[in-house]
Structure formats: C-alpha cells, structure tokens
Amino acid sequence: MLGVLELNKAYLSTLVSFCMLTSICMTEANDITNISTPQIQSSAKNDHLKKEEREIMIKSYAYDTKIIEDNIRSVRSNTSQDNIQKVAFLTFDDGPSTTNTPKILDVLKAYNVKATFFILGEQLNNDSCKAVLKRMYNEGHAIGNHTFCHDYKYLYPNRYANANHIIKDLKKNESVMKEVLGEDFHCSVVRLPGGFASWKNTKALKEPFKECHVNYVDWNVLNGDAEGYRKNKEQLIARFNQTFKEQDIVVVLMHDTYGKESTVEALPYIIEKLQSKGYNFGILN
Ligand SMILES: [Zn+2]
C-alpha cells in the first residue's frame, strides 16, 4: 500500500533519473528531423515557466506514473484504513480546446486542485490553443502525451499496437509542445488513445517507452463523457458514482475537448465528492 510519503520518495528518485536521462531523450527527439510539425506563430511569446521553477512548484503533488498505474491495475477497493492517504488524479484527454479547457482550468483554480491533461497534438493548430497549453503548464498541471493524430487505424492496425507508428506520433506531438513550452520540455506520461489495455501486442511498446523515458497510464474511474451518446451533467455524475468505489488511488478519465460542456458542469460535483471522502489531488509525472 502506498501512502503519499512513499509515493513522493519514489517520485524523487524517479525525478533524479528523469533529470539525468532527459537530455538523452531530447537528443533522440531532435534527431527526428523529417517530421513536419506546425510552426508556432511569431506572436507567441516565450513566457512559460522555466523547467526548474516548475519542478519546484509541482514537487509536493507529482507522483510517479508507473507506481500509480501498477496500483490501479491491481483492482483495489476501499480499505478505509486510517493510515492510508487517498489520492485522486483528475485526467482530461483530447484537448486543449478553446471552449471547455479554460473553463476547466477556472474550476480547478477555484478549488485549488491540480490535474493531468493528455494533449492531442492536432488540437495545437492555432495560437489560442497553444496559449491554453501554456496556461495549464504555468498553473502547475501535468502535461501528458495523447499522440498527435489519435488515429486508431494508424496507431493500431487490425487492433495491434504498431510501436514504430506510436513512437513516431508521440515524438511528433512532443515536438509541437516543445515549440510552445521550450526545448527542455519532456512529456514523461502517456495515455494511449482508447487506453493501453484495449489493444493487442502492447508488449512491443515496453522497450521503446523505456528508451523514451515515458510511462503510460489508463484509468479506474470515469464520468462516461466519451461513451456512446452525449450525456448531460446528471448522467456524467451518475456514471462517476457507478465507477467510483473509493479506491485508494483514483484516476478519473474525462475529456476537455469541444462538445464536452457537461464535463465542465459535472466537475465541481466530482471534486467536492472526492474531497468529502478525504482524497488529496495529485498529478502524474
Ligand atoms: Zn482520446
């Protein structure tokens, strides 16, 4: 069982190796010169936080993704032991959008809660979306990699994970984010479109992920905002309550892209519910 202290210890040791290894991965990423990426507009200013400043800022609430993923895969239900520190990770996929992501950031700010955003590179095709990315970075949220294209046929032909395509696409996404957040930016956390557990042959990703110093994470709770028909706030809350079983570690899957207005509306309830059950909020690193 992992309390905050143990997790933070693990995080610190990972941070040391992360700092040592980032330069290697950056070299690899820089070698991909044949990938075309949208160019940042000249009006975008280099006003993001420095890497060192951000690392100090997030230190107390950033957790090692691998430890969290290992924990949620073990299908653990509530132990309600007093010495267990419960941690919740709010995660948002497919953004940033200029409609819902800023509203989600406003809600998070009002509750002083941090979250993890899994960025879809295709969304970063204009200055407004790039500014939203910069805002989430500067406000201390985690930036995850959700691939550039989100194209199941390209990433998982016949449902088999294609490691070459996936790594190439993740690097393409990261290079777009580097244009906004600086060359020293590195995405250490990945969420595969559709989830890691949904595809065949994902073992082929083990070594490439290691080489790129990334870890994946799925989820163990969701609000259902990407399941079937469009849901209203009450339906999202009902789906959250159905999947939330007071697990010690909670990773909530949500979406902040266009059309997800109900997700914004349901978010205060989800935060308040988790707070009332004694959860702290963390980000994935
Ligand atoms: Zn997605």
Q: Can you give the pTM of this predicted structure?
A: 0.83
Q: Mind listing the pLDDT tens digit for each residue in 35-94?
A: 333 333 433 456 888 888 899 999 999 999 999 999 998 844 444 444 458 999 999 999
CB 271 within 8 A of CB 107: yes
Q: Which two tokens stand for residue 138?
A: 């500067």
Q: For each of the domains in the chain, give its residue range(s) and CATH number, in order of start.
A: 4-284 (3.20.20.370)
pLDDT value of residue 47: 81
Q: What's CA 106's distance to the chain center, in Å? A: 18
- Cα Rg for the chain, rounded, in angstroms? 18
- Indicate if the alpha-carbon torsion angle 65, 185, 50, 136 is positive or negative: negative
Q: Which two tokens stand for residue 126?
A: 């204009």
Cα–ligand 1 centroid distance for 120 (angstroms) = 8
Cα–ligand 1 centroid distance for 218 (angstroms) = 11
Q: Mind listing the pLDDT tens digit for each residue in 143-193?
A: 999 999 999 999 999 999 999 999 999 999 999 999 999 999 999 999 999
pLDDT value of residue 11: 44
CB 138 within 8 A of CB 279: no
CA 270 – CA 190 distance, rounded (Å): 23
pLDDT value of residue 159: 98
Does the annotation mark 48 as catalytic? no
Tokens 């090692």 locate to 64
Q: Which two tokens stand for residue 227?
A: 């399941």
Residues 248-277, mean pLDDT to the nearest whole number: 98
Collapsed DSSP state (helix, strand, coil) of residue 238: helix
DSSP states along 104-133:
HHHHHHHHT---EEEE-GGG-SSHHHHHHH
Does the annotation mark 93 as catalytic? yes
CA 55 – CA 204 distance, rounded (Å): 31
Cα–ligand 1 centroid distance for 79 (angstroms) = 31
CB 18 within 8 A of CB 188: yes
Bridge partners of 91, per DSSP, are 116, 253
pLDDT value of residue 175: 97
Q: Mind listing the pLDDT tens digit for each residue in 77-91?
A: 444 444 458 999 999
CA 23 – CA 259 distance, rounded (Å): 38
Angle at 94 (CA atoms; ends 234, 225), nearest 5 degrees? 15
Within 10 angstroms of residue 64's Cβ, the number of other Cβ atoms is 24
Q: Of 93, 94, 225, 248, which one is the catalytic site residue?
A: 93
CA 199 – CA 216 distance, rounded (Å): 13
Cα–ligand 1 centroid distance for 84 (angstroms) = 31
Q: Mean pLDDT highest for which of 29-33, 48-52, 212-216?
A: 212-216
Q: Mind listing the pLDDT tens digit for each residue in 221-245?
A: 999 999 999 999 999 999 999 999 9
CB 186 within 8 A of CB 174: yes
Which residues are near ligand 1, the ion (C-beta closer than 5 Å)? 93-94, 193
Cα–ligand 1 centroid distance for 6 (angstroms) = 31
Task: Find the farthest-apart pair of alpha carbons in the chain and give their distance in angstroms, rounded.
Answer: 54
Q: Mind listing the pLDDT tens digit for each residue in 89-114?
A: 999 999 999 999 999 999 999 999 99
Identify the DSSP state of 64: -
Cα–ligand 1 centroid distance for 260 (angstroms) = 13
Q: Of 48, 141, 150, 255, which one is the catalytic site residue?
A: 255
CA 71 – CA 63 distance, rounded (Å): 12
